[in-house]
Amino acid sequence: GAVVSQHPSWVICKSGTSVKIECRSLDFQATTMFWYRQFPKQSLMLMATSNEGSKATYEQGVEKDKFLINHASLTLSTLTVTSAHPEDSSFYICSARGGQVTYNSPLHFGNGTRLTVT
Amino acid sequence: AQKVTQAQTEISVVEKEDVTLDCVYETRDTTYYLFWYKQPPSGELVFLIRRNSFDEQNEISGRYSWNFQKSTSSFNFTITASQVVDSAVYFCARADKLIFGTGTRLQVFP
């Protein structure tokens, strides 16, 4: 149980275009989803916290107008990288909490999306 | 900022050796939770363990064991008789938003 599906697994786009990444909880309702970014050989950096039905909370230094997050349902959150640039190339991973939501519940992670901007 | 520090960037061992991955955390909370995750080369994150601040008992799960020392703010992870399949990056993390440490890359050679 507790499967999180992330799509696409990888994407290559041209500089200036926008890319949408989907994160779905397949067998549970995720009231809270998190988006992380991971550069090569580095740790996961939290970008934003997404709560169903409300605006996302962004971490300091993350541009909310560039990384648009929508959590329209209890099973789907999307991250749109707008006007992508080569420096946005990274591994983006979503995670979700569901069920009896407590802050200490383990997060269930998607398999990540590798974005390459040319 | 309340950091999670994994001082070992990379560790290389030969199969069957025991290896300990260190994790030191900072927190001002009296109640908190700590986690370990494994990230194999394929990239997905695999949950290994969760520990709350009130439970300092060591835990063992097969070849894995964890040593939680609240007095030193450490939550170390030991793999006994390491195997090639243990090669991965291991992250220590602290709740609530899951702040990750920098990770330790473990390479186990045959």
Give me A9's structure tokens: 């697994």
Q: What is the mean pLDDT of residues A17-46?
A: 91
How many whole angstroms separate alpha carbon A41 and alpha carbon A33?
Answer: 24
Q: What is the mean pLDDT of residues A42-71?
A: 91
Most confident of A9-13, A25-29, B58-62: A9-13
* A109 with B45: Cβ contact below 8 A: yes
Q: What is the mean pLDDT of residues A109-114?
A: 91
* B91 with A43: Cβ contact below 8 A: yes
- pLDDT of A106 reads 67
**Number of separate helices (H) and strands (E) present in chain B:** 0, 12
Q: Which residues of B77-106 are buried (b: 16+ CB within 10 A; e: fewer)?
A: bbbeebeeebbbbbbbbbbebbbbbbbbeb
- pLDDT of B109 reads 97
A99 pLDDT tier (thresholds 50, 70, 90): low
Of A104 and B55, the structure prediction assigns the larger pLDDT to B55
Least Cα distance to A70 among A3, A20, A5 occurs for A20
Nearest CA in chain A to B45: A109
How many whole angstroms separate alpha carbon B58 and alpha carbon B67?
Answer: 5
Q: What is the mean pLDDT of residues A73-87?
A: 94
Chain-wide mean pLDDT for chain B?
Answer: 91
How open is the CA angle A49-A55-A58, to the nearest 5 degrees?
40
* A106 with B99: Cβ contact below 8 A: no
Q: What is the mean pLDDT of residues B95-105?
A: 85
